Amino acid sequence: MRCRNCRLGFRRTRPGDTELSQLYGELNNELYEAEAGGRSRTALRHLRIVRQYASGGRLLEVGCASGLFLSYAADAGWEVVGIEPSASACDKAKKILAGRGELIRATLQEADLPPSTFDVVTLWDVLEHVRDPGRFMRLCASLLKPGGRLFANVPDLDSLQARLFGSRWPLLLQEHLNYFNRGSLKLCGELAGLTWMGFGRRPASFSIGYALYRLAQHKIPGAAIFKRLAIHPAIGNAIISFPLGELYGVWERRIEELFRGEC
């Protein structure tokens, strides 16, 4: 369904907070970890995006998965904190970070972090999974210092890819509760008391084998045939980058907005 005003897309039936917490806490990350090569490239793109808007400080990644982005940020001199509800992903992140940052196994709501603590908060592929993205963004905004920046990457329901593939768009997933466009994503930040700074699109990187697996899963014509070719490791393991139809936004928590929010 879509809101007639802001055009936010959303699922009619939505699990409760407890159900979501249990689902992601018990998530099996084997398939995710098998794509570490491609996800590393995507994580580096995320770091380049952050460095366009912020030069350093304390960084929180909400939904840090196995910690690839945090590891690159720590290497670049950031003081990093990650929140991740999945036990297996959190264990993997601890190994990758090797003591170079703090990891909290919890949801953002359960973590109970102090306000005005971070220079940067990132939500890479997170807002589509939460029940109330507006409330979630407000909580994230409260964790930013004055002048802090928030980054979020989401599926764009008005993207060329979404319009071309229709019901076969690979980002139409059961676990995605929300879908955005530029207007609804911008509004989400405004309702959280943040100032919109800019937006962009970045490609994602995957192995050819994984990409064909996902395309075949969505019954894209020809994907199942080409998937057989990917059995050969030289083909199937090769990393490619392509746009999926996603959008990222960047916001700032300004001092005047901080005061207005506390009145």
Using one digit for the tens of pLDDT, what is the confidence trace for 147-189? 999 999 999 999 999 999 999 999 998 889 999 999 999 999 9
User: Residue 73: which residues within 8 A CB-CB, separation 6 or more?
Assistant: 47, 50, 59, 61, 80
Cα separation, 66 vs 258, whole angstroms: 33
Kindly report the backbone phi and psi dihedral angles of residue 143, in degrees, each rounded to the nearest multiple of 5, phi listed first: -85, -10
Cα separation, 87 vs 138, whole angstroms: 26
Ranking 133-142, 190-199, 221-230 by mean pLDDT, the lowest is 221-230
Domains in the chain: ranges and CATH: 14-159+172-203+245-262 (3.40.50.150)
Q: Pseudo-torsion of CA 252, 253, 254, 255, nearest 10°?
A: -160
- The whole-model pTM stands at 0.89
Both tokens of 84, joined, read 């991740």
Percent of all residues in the chain with a pLDDT value above 70, rounded to a whole number:
86
Q: What is the band of 214 on the pLDDT scale with cuts at 50, 70, 90?
A: confident
Q: Which of 15, 72, 251 is nearest to 144 (CA)?
A: 251
Using one digit for the tens of pLDDT, what is the confidence trace for 5-42? 999 999 888 777 777 766 666 555 666 667 888 999 99
Angle at 173 between CA 172 and CA 178, to 5 degrees: 75
Q: What is the band of 263 on the pLDDT scale with cuts at 50, 70, 90?
A: very low
Both tokens of 33, joined, read 């970890």
